């Protein structure tokens, strides 16, 4: 079910040769991250040293994982590629579309009804194309991956930002947009800018109330939410070796919160123990044979300053437990100092909920540590002041925790055990105890705490901590409670203290599960029908995009000149639109509705050159589409920054936008435009942005000569008939011009497959 040991043996066989070669071409000892990167080059053995933060490099990942919200469009696109099977082992996990409300049984039943068509589609498309399918309730993608698929020295990509969790088992695991995943599923290379490297040296040992979570809460405070951008964070040192494998997973998981490309740890005994406990002794045996390739070279650890772009040192003996928040995961405060800060900032001191679990913190060790605190509420006769919610990371964890009596401890305190799914972590929480947007405080062991993230309420102050600290704070009901120094009054009126948490790294009786929730695909899926109802509101099979012809690029109308920031959220909003992620026509109704019109500074209010009237961007664009008129979007700097969602390129393309002309692009969005067969161009002279007027028409006069490294000339005809001729730069190479000429990258793959 879980993994292909021959594939892993193959990775290790290549690793030795490629790492030795990489040492030769770089002329230096290598970090672990470099070993994994150089041994996964698309072109085979390394022939040159890459420059960090500069060179774009093609890689060949070993695995792909997709979650249910992002998998829909990714797999609809993959179907366009004309391949009988995915080229790389892939799994789909149904975890995001399950609301937390009453408890696991009722909530799962409800999700299976409300999202039945999405789950049926994902199951059938997985079955057809050789993709492993994890049913709703099987667990959260990253916990399931850690338990089943992650392996030391491997490289994987996933259509979710917390794919990085697998770094806990020594992988380079990176969150990507659906378009990137589709490329790899279809057998193409995956491109990444060679990352910078941040080293984190851990000395000492965690003990008492301090946990692995506090390492990353501290790192987040140091690096802030942007400090890891473009970098892999590599942890090492004695302190790292002393952490459990799942604790390492927690640390890597929240690397996403500092913007890191990913985080990883070298292979060690904790990983071996975890592999054996999760029924993967054969991987541990193979990893042991290549142990020296699965950590950095010794010289790196001796002189880390020479090998990392940035170095952080944390002494775990001195590390204190933290609570980070509210509203941002990098606002780090040691627990004993939170009361003062909360009063200064007027954060509500009373805590209404303590939420434990998510992909970040639902290991066996996490649950035992939290349960050891929760149990004291019973033995010391303390009535918990906050509500408890638990969302286990996988059915295997849930089943084992139930068998060992851990869940019962929480249930005895009145906890609601939600489905093994994301639930409150992604706003899928139907919370009944708050009316409207009441100001309130919750603590949770998740990773993100942005405004509205958990319950949609902008006034919910969410603080992130370890599961055991969440349990303690929830029992006290006070944000300023410091379990290391403060007492509580129990039901007998006595002053009592909570003892330090006690954890068990791995279940003594082993993990156990009756139905893990996995469905293996058919060997030959050619006869499987993919289930998409014709009248579905949520799913729509894709039609290949027709190439944009030179004729269509004459008389192009301005749709919108966007002013200021225009992120992928402005181009394709999330929130309530999430439910249409698999239906291009329906989700296209949010196209650019968040972009600010430069002429009136309003959102979703643009002039139609056909009628002279103003309307919503998608509505105006659809009138151009109905008449077969192509349009252009003009934008400012860093257009398309934010998430890598491909919808931000697909929707304009679907509606008939032919070109996007901006001062500068966020690179992933620029690539996504290219993949969809559109023109993504930049002003050769930024000041030309100011020339563009509301009634302008654009003629791409030399588009027939579109070629690499050659500027394009655009004639801009203004409403009064006057004209300007402007130059546009582009970064298309010959293959990408092929995508444009054939309508999309997928059209090219399909043609090549058919040949
Ligand atoms: Fe994302 Fe939260 Fe789900 Fe993890 S539990 S995959 S962070 S939504």
Cα–Cα distance measured from residue 661 to residue 687, given in angstroms and rounded to the nearest whole number: 13
- DSSP states along 443-481: EESSS---TTTTTS-TTEEEEE--HHHHHHHHHHTBTT-
Residue 384 C-alpha to ligand 1 middle, in angstroms? 27
Tokens 């944000």, located at residue: 479
Percent of the chain with pLDDT over 90: 93
CATH 3.30.499.10 assigned to domain 322-496? The reply is yes
Task: Judge contact between 618 and 643, C-beta under 8 A.
Answer: no
DSSP state of 152: T
Angstrom distances, CA of residue 304 to CA of 197, 215, 287, 295? 11, 19, 24, 13
Q: How confident is the model at residue 569 (pLDDT cuts 50, 70, 90)?
A: confident
What is the pLDDT at residue 1?
45
Average pLDDT estimate for 575-584: 89
Q: Residues of CATH 3.30.499.10 domain(s) within the chain?
A: 322-496
401-457, pLDDT tens digit by residue?
A: 999 999 999 999 999 999 999 999 988 899 989 988 999 999 999 999 988 889 989
User: Could you tell me where the beta strands, DSSP code E, fall in 194-230?
Assistant: 196-203
Decide if pLDDT at 3 tops 70.
no
Average pLDDT estimate for 384-389: 97
DSSP state of 41: B
Q: Residues of CATH 3.20.19.10 domain(s) within the chain?
A: 551-754
Q: Ligand 1: which atom is nearest the Cα of residue 360?
A: 4
Mean pLDDT (the chain, rounded) = 96
Average pLDDT estimate for 625-642: 95
Task: Judge contact between 597 and 693, C-beta under 8 A.
Answer: no
Pairing type for strands 440-444 and 460-464 reads parallel
Q: How confident is the model at residue 120 (pLDDT cuts 50, 70, 90)?
A: very high
Residue 359 C-alpha to ligand 1 middle, in angstroms? 6
What are the tokens at 418?
């939600």
596-614, pLDDT tens digit by residue?
A: 999 999 999 999 999 999 9
Q: How confident is the model at residue 575 (pLDDT cuts 50, 70, 90)?
A: confident
| Run of H or E residues at 605 | none
Helix (H/G/I), strand (E/B), else coil: 165:
helix
Average pLDDT estimate for 159-182: 95
What ipTM was assigned to the predicted interfaces of this complex? 0.99
What is the pLDDT at residue 2?
55
What is the pLDDT at residue 452?
86
192-250, pLDDT tens digit by residue?
A: 999 999 999 999 999 999 999 999 999 999 999 889 989 999 999 999 999 999 999 99
Q: Give the residue numbers marked as catalytic.
A: 95-96, 160, 448, 643, 645
Residue 360 C-alpha to ligand 1 middle, in angstroms? 8
Cα–Cα distance measured from residue 321 to residue 208, given in angstroms and rounded to the nearest whole number: 9
What is the pLDDT at residue 667?
84
- DSSP states along 471-539: HHHHHHTBTT--TTT--EE-TTS-EE-PPPP---SS-TT----S---EEPPPS--TTPPP---TT-SSB
473-488, pLDDT tens digit by residue?
A: 999 999 999 999 999 9
Choice from 65, 70, 160, 643 to test ligand 1 binding pocket (greatest atom count within 8 A of CB): 160
Which protein residue's CA is at the shortest distance from atom 4 of ligand 1?
A: 359
Q: How confident is the model at residue 70 (pLDDT cuts 50, 70, 90)?
A: very high
What is the pLDDT at residue 254?
97
**Cβ neighbours for 744, distance < 8 A, ≥ 6 positions apart:** 80, 544, 545, 675, 676, 677
Torsion of CA 430, 101, 427, 389, to 10 degrees: 120
User: Domain 551-754: what homologous superfamily?
Assistant: Aconitase, domain 4 (3.20.19.10)
- Whether the full predicted model's pTM is greater than 0.90, yes or no, is yes
Which protein residue's CA is at the shortest distance from atom 2 of ligand 1?
A: 425
Pairing type for strands 614-615 and 606-607 reads antiparallel
Largest CA distance in the chain: 87
126-155, pLDDT tens digit by residue?
A: 999 999 999 999 999 999 999 999 999 999
The phi-psi region of residue 237 (left if phi > 0; otherwise alpha if psi is between -120 and 50; otherwise beta) is: left
Cα–Cα distance measured from residue 223 to residue 707, given in angstroms and rounded to the nearest whole number: 42
Tokens 């999760």, located at residue: 278
Cα–Cα distance measured from residue 66 to residue 359, given in angstroms and rounded to the nearest whole number: 14
693-703, pLDDT tens digit by residue?
A: 999 999 999 99
């Amino acid at each position: 079910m879980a993994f292909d040991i021959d594939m892993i043996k193959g990775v290790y066989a290549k690793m030795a040769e490629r790492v030795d070669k990489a040492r030769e071409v770089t002329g230096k000892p290598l970090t672990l991250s470099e070993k994994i990167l150089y041994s996964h080059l698309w072109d085979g053995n390394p022939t040159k040293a890459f420059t960090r933060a500069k060179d774009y490099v093609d890689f060949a990942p070993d695995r792909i994982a997709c979650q249910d919200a992002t998998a829909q469009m990714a797999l609809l696109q993959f179907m366009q590629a004309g391949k009988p099977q995915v080229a790389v082992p892939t799994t789909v996990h149904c975890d995001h579309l399950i609301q937390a409300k009453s408890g696991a049984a009722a909530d799962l039943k409800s999700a299976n009804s409300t999202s039945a068509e999405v789950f049926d589609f994902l199951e059938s498309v997985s079955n057809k194309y050789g993709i492993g399918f994890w049913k709703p309730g099987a667990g959260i993608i990253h916990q399931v991956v850690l338990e089943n698929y992650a392996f030391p020295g491997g490289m994987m990509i996933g259509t979710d930002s917390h794919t990085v969790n697998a770094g806990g088992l020594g992988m380079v695991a990176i969150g990507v947009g659906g378009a990137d995943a589709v490329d790899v599923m279809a057998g193409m290379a995956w491109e990444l800018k060679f990352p910078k490297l941040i080293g984190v040296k851990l000395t000492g040992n965690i003990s008492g109330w301090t946990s692995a979570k506090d390492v990353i809460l501290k790192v987040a405070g140091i690096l802030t939410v942007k400090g890891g951008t473009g970098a892999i964070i590599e942890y090492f040192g004695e302190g790292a070796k002393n952490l459990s494998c799942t604790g390492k997973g927690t640390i890597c998981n929240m690397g996403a919160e500092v913007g890191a490309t990913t985080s990883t740890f070298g292979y060690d005994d904790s990983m071996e123990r975890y592999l054996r406990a999760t029924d993967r002794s054969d991987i541990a045996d193979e990893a042991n044979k290549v142990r020296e390739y699965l950590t950095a070279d010794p010289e790196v650890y001796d002189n880390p300053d020479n090998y990392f772009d940035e170095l952080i040192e944390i002494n775990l003996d001195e590390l204190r437990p933290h609570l980070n928040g509210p509203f941002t995961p990098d606002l780090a405060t040691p627990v004993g100092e939170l009361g003062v800060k909360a009063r200064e900032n007027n954060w509500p001191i009373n805590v209404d909920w303590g939420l434990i679990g998510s992909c970040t913190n639902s290991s066996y060790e996490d649950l035992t540590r939290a349960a050891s605190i929760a149990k004291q509420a019973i033995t010391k006769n303390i009535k918990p002041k906050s509500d408890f919610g638990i969302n286990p990371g996988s059915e295997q964890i849930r089943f084992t925790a139930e068998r060992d009596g851990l869940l019962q401890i929480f249930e005895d305190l009145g906890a609601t055990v939600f489905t093994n799914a994301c639930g409150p972590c992604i706003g899928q929480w139907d919370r009944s105890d708050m009316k409207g947007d009441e100001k309130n405080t919750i603590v949770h062991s998740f990773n993100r705490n942005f405004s509205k993230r958990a319950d949609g309420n902008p006034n919910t102050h969410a603080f992130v901590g370890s599961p055991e600290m969440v349990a303690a704070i929830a029992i006290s009901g006070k944000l300023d409670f410091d379990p290391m120094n403060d007492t509580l009054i129990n039901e007998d009126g006595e002053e009592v203290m909570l003892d330090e948490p006690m954890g068990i790294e791995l279940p003594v009786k082993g993990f156990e599960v009756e139905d893990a929730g996995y469905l293996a695909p058919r060997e030959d899926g050619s006869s499987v029908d993919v289930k998409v109802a014709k009248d579905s509101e949520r799913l729509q099979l894709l039609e290949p995009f027709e190439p944009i012809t030179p004729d269509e690029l004459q008389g192009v109308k301005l749709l919108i000149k966007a002013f200021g920031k225009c992120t992928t959220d402005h181009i394709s909003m999330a929130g309530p639109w999430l439910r249409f992620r698999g239906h291009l026509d329906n989700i296209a109704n949010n196209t650019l509705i968040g972009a600010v019109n430069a002429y009136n500074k309003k959102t979703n209010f643009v002039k139609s050159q056909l009628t002279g009237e103003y309307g919503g961007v998608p509505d105006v664009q659809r009138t151009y589409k109905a008449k077969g008129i192509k349009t252009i979007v003009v934008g400012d700097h860093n257009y398309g920054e934010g998430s890598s969602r491909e919808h931000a390129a697909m929707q304009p393309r679907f509606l008939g936008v032919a070109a996007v002309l901006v001062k500068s692009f966020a690179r992933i969005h620029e690539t996504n435009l290219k993949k969809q067969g559109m023109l993504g161009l930049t002003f050769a002279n930024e000041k030309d942005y100011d020339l563009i007027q509301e009634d302008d028409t654009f003629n791409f006069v030399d588009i027939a000569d579109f070629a690499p490294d050659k500027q394009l000339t655009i004639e801009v005809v203004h409403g009064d008939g006057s004209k300007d001729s402007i130059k546009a730069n582009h970064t298309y190479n010959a293959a990408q011009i092929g995508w444009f000429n054939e309508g999309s990258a997928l059209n090219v793959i399909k043609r090549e497959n058919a040949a």
